């Protein structure tokens, strides 16, 4: 685990997040999403638990509904997609609607747009659309694209992965950190079916941990990665040791091949 | 577009679907989802519109809530994950709960399990968990894993991609097909900011199409793929031609470099 020790850390409570991915192209299969995994990784690093993701089409009502639902339920919401200059980029308007505020070309964003385009391209109506920001929002500025924005607990980011990644890094640098969820992965080198019952007993005995079991195939046989997660290093170490001892025990009882 | 001409086709109405992805490992970033894109591609092929995806953790209440919400809203629901033998595999129980039916070891599924394990491994309590199927469900049988199942309009599939893919193919072979959404991609070789206004006008004039604009970077410059989607071939061809003519016009008016 690698939480930045210089970053602000919040109190003991768990900090949660939701994500809304906006785009017909993800739902049609044309574009394969890469942003969910990136956001999930960064949030895990800073100790924020991603609790829910919704993927919705480029339809205003659906975006409003998802943003409102997740904003009410989780500490933070991250959105990706729909903030470009074309007619199908309606995220900024939908988020303004979700918060019941107006939206217009923002002088700060327009200044950034004009500086970027100076001597290279015309500031036309479509490009100015990218400077539309809901009233009361703060900007999420990046080098490689027009700014995203934050309003309430919602961080609105681009869909293009390189731009989203820059925005997510910028947001994470300022976001209060939670207590990181620590984790340890143990390769059982046995199928899930052999360890499932004793593993379930260990999980039941340690409700302050989350034990996951992930089957994978190797050389035509199923094996299992067991992942133990906990916020307390001592708890993690103790439960991981218990899982390892259990696996050794099950292996010792297997018939020799 | 490649809908199988021998498969059943439904009437003219649009057929919709939702997907629920179940798993802490996706939300923590440990596992990068590959199933959403696969399901989206297969549904597009058979003319079913994927309208919403939710990713939820391995928590019974959250799975029940998502399955109920999407089952009520869309024609079909597809789930992935959480049907293995371990304590964190709770999807079958949650789906039974969502439908208000009981669940137990299913004789059909148990017979499959016993046949697969015969002479190779013991049928223990954990492995029998994989044969738990809600009352009234039909099985989704595949060669490379234990069966998934269908109850109501919900298709419950594995999280391991190879097994999910086999199940999805099996389901699609029997599912009534919708009228496929046809699409044509036009590479504008221009930034979105130059074509956005006329493209928006074309979209507005043709509400029976869905026109998407997808920026990408090439040699350090932004370019744009325009995707026109429609269910009528004639409409698609006419609107795609209009988009092409518009792009040619914009290009002709660009300063020479």
Instruction: Give the side-chain half-sphere CA count within 13 A for A202.
Output: 27
| CATH match for A182-252 among 3.30.930.10, 3.40.640.10, 3.30.70.600, 2.30.40.10 | 3.30.70.600
Which residue in A25, A29, A130 is closest to B214 by CB distance? Answer: A25
Q: What is the pLDDT of residue A9?
A: 59
The SS3 call for residue B66 is helix
Taking an 8 Å cut-off on Cβ atoms, the answer to whether B36 and A57 are in contact is no
Q: In which residue ranges of chain A is CATH 3.40.980.10 found? A: 15-174
Cβ proximity of B240 and B184 under 8 Å: yes
**Gap between the Cα atoms of A6 and A28, Å rounded:** 42
**Gap between the Cα atoms of B19 and B35, Å rounded:** 10
A 10 A CB-CB count for A197 gives: 17
Closest CA to B89 of A136, A224, A110: A224
**DSSP letter (8 states) at residue A57:** -
The model's pLDDT over B25-42, given as tens digits with 9 standing for 90+, comes to 999 999 999 999 999 999
Q: In which residue ranges of chain B is CATH 3.30.1370.10 found? A: 182-252
Q: What is the CATH code for B15-174?
A: 3.40.980.10
Mean pLDDT of A76-105: 97
Query: Is A71 an 8 Å CB contact of chain B?
Result: no
**Gap between the Cα atoms of B114 and B105, Å rounded:** 12
Distance from CA of A6 to the nearest CA of B (A): 23
Rg, chain A, Cα only: 23
**Gap between the Cα atoms of B125 and B128, Å rounded:** 5
Query: Is A55 an 8 Å CB contact of chain B?
Result: yes
% of chain B residues with pLDDT over 70: 95
The model's pLDDT over B1-24, given as tens digits with 9 standing for 90+, comes to 444 545 555 646 789 999 999 999
Mean pLDDT of A120-146: 94
Q: Which residues in chain B (201-220) have CB-CB distances under 8 A to chain A?
A: 203-204, 210-217
The model's pLDDT over B30-88, given as tens digits with 9 standing for 90+, comes to 999 999 999 999 999 999 999 999 999 999 999 999 999 999 999 999 999 999 999 99
**Gap between the Cα atoms of A38 and A28, Å rounded:** 21
Measured between beta carbons, the chain B residues lying within 8 angstroms of A53 are 21, 26-27, 53-55
Render A99-129 in DSSP notation, one character per residue.
Answer: HT--EEE-HHHHHHHHHHHTTTS---HHHHH
Cβ proximity of B60 and B193 under 8 Å: no
Taking an 8 Å cut-off on Cβ atoms, the answer to whether B27 and A40 are in contact is yes
% of chain A residues with pLDDT over 70: 95
* Confidence label for B119 from pLDDT (cuts 50, 70 and 90): confident
The model's pLDDT over A194-236, given as tens digits with 9 standing for 90+, comes to 999 999 999 999 999 999 999 888 777 889 999 999 999 999 9
Q: What is the pLDDT of residue B11?
A: 47
Closest CA to A82 of A90, A93, A74: A90
Which residue of chain A comes nearest to B204, CA vs CA?
Answer: A87
């Amino acid at each position: 685990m690698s939480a930045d020790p210089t970053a602000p850390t919040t109190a003991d409570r768990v900090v949660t997040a939701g994500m809304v991915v906006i785009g017909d192209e993800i739902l049609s299969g044309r574009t394969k999403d890469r942003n969910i995994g990136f956001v999930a990784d960064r949030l895990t690093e800073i100790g924020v638990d991603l609790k829910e993701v919704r993927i919705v089409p480029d339809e205003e009502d659906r975006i409003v509904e998802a943003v409102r639902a997740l904003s009410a339920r989780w500490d933070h919401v991250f959105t990706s997609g729909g903030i470009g200059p074309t007619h199908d980029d309606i995220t900024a308007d939908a988020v303004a609607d979700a918060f019941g505020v107006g939206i217009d070309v923002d002088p700060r964003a327009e200044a950034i747009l004009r500086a970027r385009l100076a001597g290279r391209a015309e500031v036309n109506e479509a490009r100015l659309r990218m400077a539309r920001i809901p009233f009361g929002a703060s900007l999420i500025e990046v080098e490689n694209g027009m700014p995203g924005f934050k309003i309430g607990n919602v961080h609105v980011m681009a869909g293009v992965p390189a731009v989203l990644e820059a925005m997510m890094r910028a947001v994470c640098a300022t976001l209060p950190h939670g207590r990181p969820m620590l984790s340890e992965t143990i390769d059982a080198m046995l199928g899930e079916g052999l360890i499932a019952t004793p593993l379930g007993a260990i999980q039941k005995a340690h409700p302050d941990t989350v034990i996951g079991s992930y089957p994978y195939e190797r050389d035509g046989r199923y094996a299992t990665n067991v992942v133990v997660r906990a916020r307390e290093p001592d708890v993690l170490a103790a439960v991981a040791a218990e899982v390892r001892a259990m696996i050794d025990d099950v292996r010792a009882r297997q018939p020799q091949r």
